[in-house]
Chain A
Amino acid sequence: MKKIQEIGVLACLAAALGGIAWWSGRADTVEATGNSFAVKDVRVFDGESFIERATVVVRDGRIEAVGADARIPTGARVVDGKGKTLMPALIDAHTHNWGDAQRDALRFGVGSELEMMGAAQSLPGYRRHREAMRRTDEADVWSSGAAVTVPGGHGTEYGFPVPELKPGEDADAFVRARIIEGSDFIKLMIDDLHAYGGTQRMPTLPRSQIEASIAAARRQQRMSVAHVAAQDDALHAVNAGVDGLVHAFVDQPASDGMIAAMKANDTFMVPTLSVIAGFGRSDISARLAEDPQLQARLTAAQKASLRAQFPPAFPTQPKALDNAIESVRRLHAAGVDILAGTDAGNPGTAHGVSLHGELALLVRAGLTPSQALRAATSRPAARFGLKDRGRIAPGLRADLLLVEGDPSKDIQATRRIVTVWKNGYAQSADAPAAGQAASIQDADRLVSDFDGGDLSTRFGSGWQAASDSFMGGKSGAETRWTAGGAGKSKGAMRIEGDVAAGPAPWAGAMFSPGSGPMQPVNLGARQAITLKVRGTPGDYAIVMLHGEGQVAAVPIQVTGDWKAVRVSLAQFAGADLARVSAIGISNSRIGHFQVDLDDVAIE
């Protein structure tokens, strides 16, 4: 063979192998990595509308193709979607995040959360997390960071220091400081409690500062959103140009003037019906905790949080939910943008799971299932500028939720979760198991008879005066031994203090039954708390701290004479009796009080 022929043969071989490489590339194959797959023959909700039967192809964490004839690359992992519905991972447009929030959210198919006030130091972490495409078991978060509020106003009562806009201060500088901290949008706290109909009041932003803050946010190219509880405050904020109301107002249904103003300003509303249901102490959230479709993914902490109620001192507004639902009905009918949000982080809500409850509430308020799903996917993404999510379309991030059944017919189908994908990676399904708390000794029943001349207890880690002061409130109390107890016994415990007005005022005393203060114990085998009590006459509450720090309370009547009280543990509705960290007595009436306890026992 001549040299030239040999080179020719080699060149042909090179060309052939090159052709194979070219053809392989063209043949549309995927490496079987964790974030590439296809779901075929599935009903698709693409963020806007339903497609009865389609195939969705995901490559390297992004959606590559959607459609009835989308071609599945050779070698792709294929998920059979028959009888199921694939939708974008949900977006919760009102949350407060700490602890396991993002994990809980994602396990329930909520891929993104919009935090409406939170710790500013979390903001850089949120940003890094949502910009990455790596495998994660947490939802992404956009956050307002610190809110615009006044000293003593809403947002200051949670026991951590927050920046405050003081009277006469420059709203522009305050807003700029938030943006420098990394706030994605600006949240205003507009609530003096007058919406709840009581006499209780709380400081709030004056209207001039509201207008200045909204204008400052606009000048600095940030959205502004407002916490409101009353329609008059809401109307003012809307007319001042706020981009959205992140609660429905609870005092009355939306008026015609309100509807017109929101339409004219293109203002959206995140009604947060889930948390508002709790203002009337409804059991809607507690029922979510019982839903068999949700059990496998619920943690004990989530269940406890769903069953938790606002403390007795928190203003009650029995018509709150009815008013809010009627507002949503009217606003939606008029074409105002409604977004799904839960206010998760508050009593009666839990991250992730509550958004499924919110969808059902929105349907109850007149949205079709398809509109409710839009309110939890494409609408919040469009309003908050989340460019790579909220829809199933080529190029978008593969944050996806696969459910059994057809949510266009039954919105509760979203609860039948099959698989959740984040950044194209499938998530594991089951809730992590909570640690088991220790039981107390069988003999440990009597806590204190106060006959020894002091406040000592037979077990646990003692009595402590407690009040709203640890959450920033102004109330206070003291405990001391006093001679002459119930039934001529030697002594009792006297709790004396003052309850000062605030968002959730209370004062009293707590006993920790665990080996260390606030160490949870399992009271599952016990029946009741018994005690003898006398004091300043009025309503008090026997309270229990349980689960991850939720509060349950049972009201009792106290008179000036000694009276034996027995509170069955079953009366603490929704309490996680397997993890009780404290029991105690609390008073929420404003003013001075004195109450004596004797012969306290856990039977």
Chain B
Amino acid sequence: MNALVLDERTPHSVPSVARIYWLETRNEFLRMLRTPMFALPSLLFPLVFYVMFGVLLNRGSGGMGSYMLATYGVFGVMGASMFGFGVTVAMERSQGLLRLKRALPVPAGAYVFAKTGMAMMFVLMISLSLIALALLLAKVTLTPAQAAMLVVINLLGTLPFAALGLYVGTLCGANGAPAVLNMIMLPMAFLSGLWLPLSMLPAWLQKIAPVWPSYHLSQLALKVVGGDAGQAVGLHVAALLLVTAVFAVLARSRLAAAA
């Protein structure tokens, strides 16, 4: 009897895999949205910088408004992805939360999936706000197709930086992670031409710009608004996939070792 009852209840008490993924993602997003230390800089920095450099300091150059729409979008992607992964993973590791999650009957992939979804939600918010600012304040002309392409590129661009952030999170402690991430992110953004057009940097820095993953993502975004350096799409995509794969593999092996 008892066994029968148990058998009847089992299918109902175990939620569907999709629901687990959804709940994990939703809760991760809400948790991060309610963490001002993460949410405010991630959401506001790209927007404030765009208003400063793309609108206020931009003396009548229409091209600058659309260039910076693309590059500050990528900057937003880097912040949300790297910090969203790196800092939280580092904290959860040092607090033992990661070990607790392992012990729970949750599919292993849901943890990474939720964080990726959270980061993409932030990226979506940043992208849409930037597009609104560009249209309203910088008087950038953008077709709906261009706007949609920018959003898609930014969303997919989350993956390589999420992988990089995740790897840093497995390396550093909770206190060290934000510092290390900043040390990586800020110079890389600058050297990729995200803050100022690459043409304003010294020639040798322009030459080595393609070593940075953010350069490749920004070139894809710039292709949409017509300000890229004219390299093949495949080259940029290959570089980004390589970065994603390498850091994902490294992070996975570190997480496995940590468990």
- A residues near B, CB below 8 A? 1, 6, 9-10, 12-14, 16-18, 20-21, 23-25, 27, 29-33, 73-76
Contacts and interface: CB of A to CB of B under 8 A. Distances in A.
A24 B210 contact: yes
Nearest to A77: B230
Nearest to B256: A1
B227 A32 contact: yes
Interface in B197-240: 198-199, 206-213, 216, 226-232, 235, 238-239
A20 B235 contact: yes
Contacts, number: 69
B231 A75 contact: yes
A12 B247 CA distance: 12
Given A20-B210, A24-B210, A24-B235, A29 B229 contact: yes
B17 interface: no
A186 B74 CA distance: 59
B246 A9 contact: yes
Interface residues of B, number: 29
A108 to B, nearest CB: 28
A21 B208 contact: yes
A21 B211 contact: yes
A509 B174 CA distance: 93
Interface of B: 198-199, 206-213, 216, 226-232, 235, 238-239, 242-243, 246, 249-250, 253-254, 257
A25 B231 contact: no
A13 B246 contact: yes
A21 B253 contact: no
B230 A21 contact: no
A18 B211 CA distance: 5
Given A21-B209, A24-B231, A31-B199, A9 B250 contact: yes
29 contacts: A1-B250, A1-B253, A1-B257, A6-B253, A9-B249, A10-B246, A12-B246, A13-B243, A17-B213, A17-B239, A18-B211, A20-B210, A20-B235, A21-B207, A24-B235, A25-B210, A27-B231, A29-B229, A30-B229, A31-B199, A31-B229, A32-B228, A32-B229, A32-B230, A33-B199, A73-B230, A75-B230, A75-B231, A76-B230
A50 B213 CA distance: 47
A341 B187 CA distance: 55
Contacts of B254: 1, 6
Nearest to A25: B207
Contacts of B257: 1
A31 B207 CA distance: 11
Contacts of A30: 229-230
Contacts of A24: 210, 231, 235
Contacts of A6: 250, 253-254
Contacts of A20: 210-211, 216, 235, 238-239
Contact of B242 (A16, A21, A31, A75): A16
A31 B211 CA distance: 17
A424 to B, nearest CB: 13
Contacts of B226: 32
B62 to A, nearest CB: 13
Nearest to A75: B230
B90 to A, nearest CB: 17
Of A17, A18, A25, A74, most buried by chain B (CB within 10 Å of CB) is A17
Contacts of B246: 9-10, 12-13
